[in-house]
């Protein structure tokens, strides 16, 4: 899984290099595909079942797009934020991670949104350890985001990952009655794709007519960060940090 995770990080790095004003999301998508294909990995997103099979190699979500953005002719502009989510399989094992790329002169409020969301992910990683309930981790994530004036998306959550991209359990980034009633006890060997999504405005989102692209209802920016994280005997180990 670390090899798969390293390939995902290589895709992110290449996307950061080319994500400039004037580039289309399709160009970013195609370059990401080239990177993981040349590394011997198989992309996990294209053809993924849904209202229609997912048509792109990566999920590329710009500004108000939260997740599952479809690459196309949209041209990146100065001040945009661009979420890049990549999942690959290598030798039967999966890696999945997302990052949000800040392009040029991003306004201070949106820049703070990205910093806060990335920190929310960091808080989760720091607090993963055997014997801890996931609700304890989710509470810390939610409390920090909301203390900074951001909202946490409810409709989409993290997940287990291993030989398949999406495995049990679901791991929300907030505390709900449902989570408290069916809490998850972390144990050594469990691997989770932890992926907070935070919005500058309301947490409410909706899906566009393409059946995939999720946007904020109020059209304010959203940020998305994700790592594949293994629970170890003494804490956690990030498998998608490029090591």
Write out pLDDT tens, residues 25-75: 999 999 999 999 999 999 999 999 999 999 999 999 999 999 999 999 999
Which residues are paired to 43 by β-bridges?
Answer: 88
For the chain, the residue count is 243
Quote the CA–CA distance of 238 and 189 in Å, as a whole number. Answer: 12
Calpha distance 174→145 (Å, rounded): 10
For 158-173, what is each residue's pLDDT tens digit?
A: 999 999 999 999 999 9
Query: Which CATH code for domain 2-238?
Result: 3.90.230.10
């Amino acid at each position: 899984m670390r090899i798969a995770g390293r390939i995902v990080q290589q895709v992110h790095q290449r996307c950061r290099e080319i994500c400039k004003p004037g580039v289309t999301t399709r160009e970013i998508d195609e370059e990401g595909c080239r990177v993981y294909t040349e590394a011997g990995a198989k992309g996990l997103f294209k053809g993924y079942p849904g209202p229609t099979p997912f048509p792109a190699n990566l999920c590329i979500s710009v500004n108000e797009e939260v997740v599952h953005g479809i690459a196309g002719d949209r041209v990146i502009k100065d001040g945009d934020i661009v979420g890049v989510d990549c999942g690959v399989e290598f030798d039967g094992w999966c890696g999945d991670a997302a990052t949000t790329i800040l392009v040029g002169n991003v306004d201070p409020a949106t820049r703070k949104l990205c910093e806060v969301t990335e920190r929310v992910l960091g808080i989760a990683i720091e607090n993963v350890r055997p014997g801890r309930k996931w609700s304890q981790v989710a509470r810390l994530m939610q409390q920090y985001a909301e203390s900074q004036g951001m909202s946490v998306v409810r409709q989409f959550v993290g997940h287990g990952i291993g030989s398949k991209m999406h495995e049990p359990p679901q791991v929300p980034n907030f505390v709900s009655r449902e989570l408290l009633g069916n809490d998850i006890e972390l144990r050594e060997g469990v691997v989770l794709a932890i992926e907070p999504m935070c919005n500058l405005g309301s947490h409410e989102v909706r899906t566009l007519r393409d059946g995939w692209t999720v946007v904020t209802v109020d059209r304010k920016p959203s940020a998305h960060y994700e790592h594949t994280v293994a629970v170890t005997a003494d804490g956690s180990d990030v498998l998608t940090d490029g090591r």
